[in-house]
Structure 1
Amino acid sequence: MQPRTSFFPPGSVTNSHLVAYDLNKELLPLIHAHCCRTLEESSLTFNLDNLERAIEDHYVRGRPLITKRVEELIFREGALSNRVFQAIRKSVNPQEILSIALRKDILSELTSITALRDCLTVSETVIGFLSSTGGDPEMYIKDYLENVLSLPKEQQLQLNPKAHHCRLRHILSLWQVLSVERAKRRLASKKQDPFEGVGKYFREPLTKEEKVGVLKGLRHVNVEDFLAELFEFMVVQLKTIPMGTQDTREERPRLLMAEFNSFLANKGRGLHGFDRMADRNHKLAVSKAVDVWCIAAQKKSTR
């Protein structure tokens, strides 16, 4: 009857569970016992089958097996929340904005929507881990994928080669660049929703007067920076509010520019000229957020 084999998880293994031997006192005598020396030809022959069985009997048989469990990570878009981003800004500090030149280089290589989606998926995977474990802001993202996450090569290759110059201190900026580009392409195609999961409450259309006010206000800001920050505001903060929980008949309606300004202040981000834009559009309700972003994106594309 075969002896019952015991199993131990890696965290419970002790030295007594491991295979150990002294090379000179134990292993070499065992090897010599299973070899045949021919004096006439001064040669050695080994009975490898018997030697294998002897080593197994002496050092392996009866030892517990160490179980190996491969953890599966299923990354959900719902994990992109304000809490997650704040955790990264604290544990992978500082977070810096990618240079305009590098942003253009990265996007110039992502000509297909598939390549863009794959690169974005990799960045979101990194964000998911960093929010829990933190990381060295100076480490290159490609090194983090290979040496820390140990992702298969095919998944590492989904990161655009130009993005290999990005470090962990750029991860949130990289996510912004990729996310905004995907949203722009979806908006241009008119077949896909740029803001999947953002509730209907935030999709109320602007009136003609409000649209004029937004367009005039955009003259005072860098539209690309405005798009990036407003996108993050909607996806990581507004998106977390369940659909149907807002009452459009509130006596004191929530104001978009006030909430957006508070969001920027909390993350220590300033937008040049935003005060002038906010003053012009201070009465805009937060329910107009999606339409404001779309108007700004369309203005950017027509320049």
Structure 2
Amino acid sequence: MSNFDHCSSYRVSVEELTELHVIRYDVEKDLLPLVLSNCQYSMERGHETLSEYDLPRIQQHIITRFLQGKPFITRTGVPTLVNTHERDYETIFKAVKGKVPQEPLSSLTRNAVSRELDSYSEVCEAHKTLELLLGFLSMTGGSPMMPLVTYLQDTLRMANQTDPHILKALGRCCLKHCASLWQLLMSLKSERMLHLKRVKEEKRQLKSFVSKGNVHKWLLEMHEFLLGPEYCRSLLFHPSVKEAVAAYMDRKEVDVPIDVEAAFPDSIQLSQIVEAWKYAVTAKQEWMM
């Protein structure tokens, strides 16, 4: 191993790398014959053949034939992809801020990005794109005023791999907004996840409500309310479907079913009435089958 240790001081960077520096071998032509030539067979009682390999000798042959004289290739200056859980974001942001002065997003831009990325999957994709951008930006730097999308297109050549909708949302930001945008996207991920969990719980509650059986009248009233002028006016005064439709029925002097008071979810917003009605009707049809 001493010869190999001696060669370990021989290093080249990626920029200096040539074909001669690279270890090349063919498994079937180079490795298998080497291994088999250092294998001894013995026949045991019961006609079982056992193989014994001379591992130290195989190791020495591999070092001599393939590793000796080859340099260590250094990664200095080369962007390295790592598991996101292993990333030191504090160090990355420190490097980014040292190369590109950062400014917070305006409230107008922040709200616009939030509206554009209205689903959990969209936020995740935007976050993943920004994450990759930050890794390179921490090493390359850039003009604070350069549009973020321009950096993606011209420097990283990622425009073709990024959803146009994501590019549109990120297109409102420059490199000077990266830290603030990261903070926003992390918050949006949590918010969208909470929304997904809430929607899942609301669907569970709706399905439970439908299973009560006596929901036909309530669904009729929901549908009538949705198609009439009361819906638009109620958006200003009643935040929930339950409250708005119940008030509508009161004005008609129609009793609200007891099951509604007990089982219809309070958390469903009036803006979700179409989705709630569709889901409840579908669940009712499935329950009746």
Of structures 1 and 2, the larger Rg is shown by: 2
Asked if Structure 1 and Structure 2 have the same fold, meaning a TM-score greater than 0.5 normalized by the shorter chain, the answer is no
TM-score (norm 1): 0.37
TM-score (norm 2): 0.39
